[in-house]
């Protein structure tokens, strides 16, 4: 029986594919980190936003409600 994929070819596919995946992952990670300042709207966080977050956390509102997809789906 003829061998279609040699051990050398399999090794090259393994390491080449692994290196390619690492490069893609690293590139996407840098891209995501680069976008955080724009997506977080950090410039719009006022004192009342901070106070609301404190109320939300201190009273466990997240235990029943959801904000931006985070929290429980028990209450509206
Ligand atoms: C034990 C679970 C629970 C916790 C904790 C909780 N809630 Fe609720 N909340 C509910 C339920 C259930 C309703 C729906 C009541 C109804 O419609 O009769 C509700 C309704 C509301 C509503 C009205 C929503 C609407 O669309 O009418 C607001 C606003 C609200 N909660 C705010 C909060 C805040 C702020 C906190 C934290 C301080 C909090 N809730 C904590 C269960 C909870």
pLDDT digits (tens, 9 = 90+) for 16-29: 999 999 999 999 99
Instruction: Give 70's strand partners.
Output: 67
User: Atom 23 (ligand 1): residue with closest C-alpha?
Assistant: 76
- Closest ligand 1 atom to Cα of 74: 12
Q: Where are the domains of the chain?
A: 1-42, 45-76
CA angle at residue 29 from 32 to 11, to 5 degrees? 155
> Which residues form the pocket of ligand 1, taking CB atoms under 6 Å from any ligand atom?
55, 59-61, 63-65, 74-76
**Ligand 1 binding pocket mutation candidate from 53, 55, 61 (most atoms within 8 A of CB):** 61
CA angle at residue 47 from 45 to 49, to 5 degrees? 55
pLDDT digits (tens, 9 = 90+) for 40-67: 888 899 999 999 999 999 999 999 999 8
Measured in whole angstroms, how far is the alpha carbon of residue 68 from the centre of its chain? Answer: 14
Q: Where are the alpha helices (DSSP H) in 1-76?
A: 7-40, 47-58
């Amino acid at each position: 029986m003829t061998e279609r994929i040699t051990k050398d070819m399999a090794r090259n596919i393994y390491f080449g594919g692994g290196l390619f995946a690492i490069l893609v992952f690293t590139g996407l990670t840098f891209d995501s980190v680069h976008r955080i300042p724009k997506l977080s709207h950090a410039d719009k966080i006022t004192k009342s936003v901070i106070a609301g977050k404190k109320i939300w956390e201190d009273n466990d509102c997240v235990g029943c409600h959801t904000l931006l997809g985070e929290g429980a789906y028990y209450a509206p």
